[in-house]
Amino acid sequence: MTKILFVCHGNICRSPMAEFIFKDMVKKNGRENDFYIESAATSNDEIFMGRGNPVYPPAREQLLLHGINPDGKTARRLTKADYDKFDLIIGMDKMNMRNIALMLGEDKEGKIKKLLDYCGGGDVDDPWYTGRFKEAYDCIYRGCSALFDELN
């Protein structure tokens, strides 16, 4: 079983979109037993008194438009233990990658990757700041498709 953790700043937009897009791909291809998929944040910005916020409404709307329901997902923070638990830890942009490295330390096993490195490189821009949730969905979908293809 391949265990994948998608990571962004707050775990309410990009990384949950990646988590649920990838889960949907896995399900549609009959591979649910081959993957374990979660998402996490590099910050505590969306976690209050130990409780994480749900998927941000515009990100949730994009998922629902594609028949993907993220209900029940709440933000959680990346932990050092995640490095041992997951086979791949996938960030969305260069700032996420920097913060993941600061939080987890040296990537001795080569587990830490950037999503769009699977399809030509670049960053998934944070739609929290840009308001471009459709574009973020499309970009994440492209990256997840390339990742899925590589893992098959």
| Catalytic residue positions, numbered | 8, 14, 126
φ, ψ for residue 31, nearest 5 deg? -115, 25
Strands 47-48 and 51-52: what pairing?
A: antiparallel
Say how far apart CA 95 and CA 101 lie, in whole Å. 10
* CA–CA distance, 62 with 136 (Å, rounded to integer): 9
HSE, side-chain direction, 13 A CA sphere, residue 114: 19
